[in-house]
């Protein structure tokens, strides 16, 4: 005791592969391939090996210059804050189907969105999404994990499908610009990594979209698009309403003589008369 605990930082699940694959693999180059193959490491590595002979776009001078940027520098006008939005889909299962079944499925679904959980839902303002916040070419999100670890993790931008095979990148939306440096971003994420432990994850009350919205507000004081987390909000409202009704009937069972419902059986009183007022007031107080 007496020592200071080391600061908590976001997990980097893709970069942790370097411990297995070795330093010869450039994890930043591998990440998009891993996302394209939906987390299939052997296929991603095979594509990586094949691309070794086609690296004309690789510029070590530019990479070196990027690494020398002052961590305390704040770009004029601020750094763009993007929310990267992903569809939940079942494409992985589709690929396992026999060819005839896949062809029949393709005829029923067009536009490259077959088996998407969100098919037809966005048109009515409802969909199920994963999201992450991209800043300075780094994407951060939040998810469940065991123990006392942080639930905050970092992935290559728009490549979360590499660690979450059931999602497919949909689009990026620029939320605003943040007047923060790289160093300030790291300090903020260290704080949030400690605040957002993996065991605190909840699909309804504390999911990846809640985290994205919180990080966006702290960075640029703007929220992510409301539709991204609408299902969780609807679910939370339904749970609150259910609890309110449950409390009302629990009160009624606890003491029949004094319950809010007892007024309906009082001599000389019928539903719809003076007893209806207090009953409605009690229900409203628990909403």
Of 251, 252, 238, whose CA–CA distance to 287 is shortest?
238
First and final C-alpha spacing in the chain: 47
Q: What is the DSSP code (8-state) at residue 71?
A: T
Q: How many helices (H) and strands (E) does the chain have?
A: 10, 5
- Whole-number Å distance between alpha carbons of 275 and 208: 46
The answer to whether 80 and 172 have CB atoms below 8 angstroms apart is no
CB count within 10 Å of CB 84 equals 23
- Whole-number Å distance between alpha carbons of 164 and 95: 16
Residue 220 is among the residues annotated as catalytic for this protein:
no
| From 37, 208, 210, 220, active-site residue | 208
Residues 6+ apart with CB under 8 A from 135: 79, 80, 81, 82, 178, 180, 185, 219
| From 130, 156, 159, 210, active-site residue | 130
The answer to whether 116 and 87 have CB atoms below 8 angstroms apart is yes
The answer to whether 32 and 159 have CB atoms below 8 angstroms apart is yes
**Residues designated catalytic:** 130, 208
């Amino acid at each position: 005791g007496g020592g200071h605990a080391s600061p908590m930082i976001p997990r980097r699940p893709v970069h942790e592969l370097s411990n297995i694959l070795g330093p010869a693999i450039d994890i930043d180059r591998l990440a998009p391939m891993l996302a394209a193959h939906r987390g299939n490491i052997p296929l991603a590595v095979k594509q990586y090996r094949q691309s070794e002979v086609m690296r004309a776009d690789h510029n070590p001078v530019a990479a070196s210059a990027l690494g020398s940027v002052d961590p305390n520098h704040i770009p004029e006008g601020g750094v763009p804050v993007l929310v990267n939005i992903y569809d939940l889909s079942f494409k992985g299962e589709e690929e396992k189907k026999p060819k005839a079944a896949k062809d029949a499925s393709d005829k029923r679904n067009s536009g490259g969105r077959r088996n998407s959980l969100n098919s037809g839902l966005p048109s009515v303002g409802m969909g199920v999404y994963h999201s992450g916040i991209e800043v300075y070419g780094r994407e951060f999100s939040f998810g469940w994990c065991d123990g006392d670890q942080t639930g905050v993790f970092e992935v290559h931008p728009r490549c979360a499908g590499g660690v979450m095979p059931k999602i497919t990148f949909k689009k990026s939306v620029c939320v605003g610009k943040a007047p923060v440096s790289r160093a300030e971003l790291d300090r903020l994420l260290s704080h949030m990594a400690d605040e957002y432990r993996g065991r605190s994850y909840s699909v309804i009350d504390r999911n990846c979209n809640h985290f994205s919205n919180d990080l966006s507000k702290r960075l640029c004081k703007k929220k992510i698009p409301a539709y991204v987390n609408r299902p969780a909000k609807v679910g939370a409202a339904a749970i609150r309403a259910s609890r309110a009704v449950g409390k009302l009937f629990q009160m009624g069972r606890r003491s029949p003589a004094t319950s809010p419902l007892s007024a309906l059986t009082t001599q000389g009183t019928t539903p719809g008369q003076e007893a209806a007022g207090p009953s409605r007031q009690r229900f409203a107080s628990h909403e």
